[in-house]
């Protein structure tokens, strides 16, 4: 995506995000993805990791929250273009002056921000139901990490959605992509447990760097330099993702006008 567009169209992005939230606030699938599933994972992890001691509860809160972020990105943002097609609104969104990727950016913004509920609900669960005293070690750095993670997730989503549209072969693997990222991004256990050959895969996943930044700032496991490294990499990946997305959207829209696939019959 062209960065300039974000500044030119900031008001449109916000309206799109607002309307998206209102449109899907009582969608049961979203409720499951951002609330029920992460909460059950949090309960499981709280029971399973109990033996670790220390600040493991905070680790679980952040980790299970991240699973909600990823599942929501994969299934909701990943399907954001397809959903418009099924509704028959895709044509009205393409043949207008606002660049299409700006609209999807707004939709992803809504989805990613909304999926932060996962972390909040896990926090309440651990604090109220399980009675843990949860301490945020670096609140300001944590907040910064949240903001950068949101941006990184949105950008990543802008790459996934057009890929799912253009190559149905990739979308078939959608269900099988949920847990591997939980594993490779180290949401709830360190990737050191994994075989060495998977490490490079983790390094190129923006959710991995988001998990690192969020875990390190919440539990205080990492020093500032490590956090800044994670921030920097999230930024770099976001820029790369937005660049790739701008190319993908161009190709996708042209291809759709050639193949007549903007609407479903």
Interacting residues toward other proteins by CB under 8 A: 11-12, 15-16, 19, 22-24, 28-29, 31-32, 36-37, 40-41, 43-45, 47-52, 87-89, 91-99, 103, 169, 172-176, 178-180, 182-183, 188-190, 193-194, 254, 257-260, 262
* Rounded Cα–Cα distance for residues 66 and 33 (Å): 11
Give residue for tokens 């999807």. 104
Nearer to other proteins, 40 or 228 (CB): 40
Nearer to other proteins, 143 or 254 (CB): 254
Nearer to other proteins, 78 or 146 (CB): 78
| Shortest reach from residue 96's CB to other proteins, in Å | 5
The candidate with the shortest Cα–Cα distance to 108, out of 48, 180, 156, is 156
The candidate with the shortest Cα–Cα distance to 20, out of 98, 103, 119, is 103
| Shortest reach from residue 143's CB to other proteins, in Å | 27
The candidate with the shortest Cα–Cα distance to 156, out of 219, 51, 244, is 244
Tokens of 12: 């449109």
| Shortest reach from residue 229's CB to other proteins, in Å | 23
| Shortest reach from residue 170's CB to other proteins, in Å | 10
Q: Return the DSSP state at 130.
A: S
CB neighbour burial string for 59-85, b if at least 16 within 10 angstroms, e if fewer: bbbbbbbbbbbbbbbbbbbbbbbbbbb
Nearer to other proteins, 103 or 248 (CB): 103
Cβ-contact 149, 62 below 8 angstroms: no
* Rounded Cα–Cα distance for residues 209 and 153 (Å): 11
CA 227 to chain CA centroid, nearest Å: 19
| Shortest reach from residue 141's CB to other proteins, in Å | 25
Q: Return the DSSP state at 135.
A: -
| Shortest reach from residue 233's CB to other proteins, in Å | 23
* Rounded Cα–Cα distance for residues 223 and 149 (Å): 18
Nearer to other proteins, 49 or 235 (CB): 49
Nearer to other proteins, 194 or 228 (CB): 194
| Shortest reach from residue 103's CB to other proteins, in Å | 7
Nearer to other proteins, 177 or 244 (CB): 177
């Amino acid at each position: 995506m062209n960065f300039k567009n974000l500044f030119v169209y900031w008001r449109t992005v916000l309206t799109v995000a607002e309307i998206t939230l209102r449109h899907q606030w009582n969608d049961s699938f979203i409720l499951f993805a951002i609330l029920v599933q992460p909460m059950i994972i949090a309960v499981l992890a709280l029971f399973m990791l109990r033996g670790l001691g220390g600040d493991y509860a905070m680790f679980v809160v952040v980790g299970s929250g991240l699973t909600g972020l990823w599942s929501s990105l994969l299934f909701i943002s990943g399907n954001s273009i397809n959903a418009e097609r099924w509704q028959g609104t895709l044509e009205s969104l393409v043949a207008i002056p606002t660049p299409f990727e700006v609209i999807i950016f707004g939709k992803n913004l809504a989805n990613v921000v909304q999926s932060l509920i996962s972390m909040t609900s896990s926090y309440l669960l651990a604090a109220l139901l399980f009675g843990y005293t949860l301490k945020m070690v670096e609140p300001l750095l944590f907040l910064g990490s949240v903001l950068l993670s949101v941006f990184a997730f949105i950008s990543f989503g802008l790459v996934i959605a057009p890929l799912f549209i253009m190559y149905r072969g990739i979308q078939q693997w959608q269900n099988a992509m949920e847990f591997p990222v939980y594993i490779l991004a180290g949401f709830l256990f360190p990737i050191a447990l994994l075989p060495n050959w998977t490490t490079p895969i983790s390094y190129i996943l923006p959710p991995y760097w988001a998990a690192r930044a969020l875990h390190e700032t919440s539990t205080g496991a990492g020093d500032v330099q490590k956090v800044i490294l994670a921030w920097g990499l999230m930024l770099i990946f976001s820029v790369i993702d937005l660049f790739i997305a701008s190319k993908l959207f161009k190709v996708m829209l042209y291809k759709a006008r050639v193949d007549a696939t903007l609407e479903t019959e």
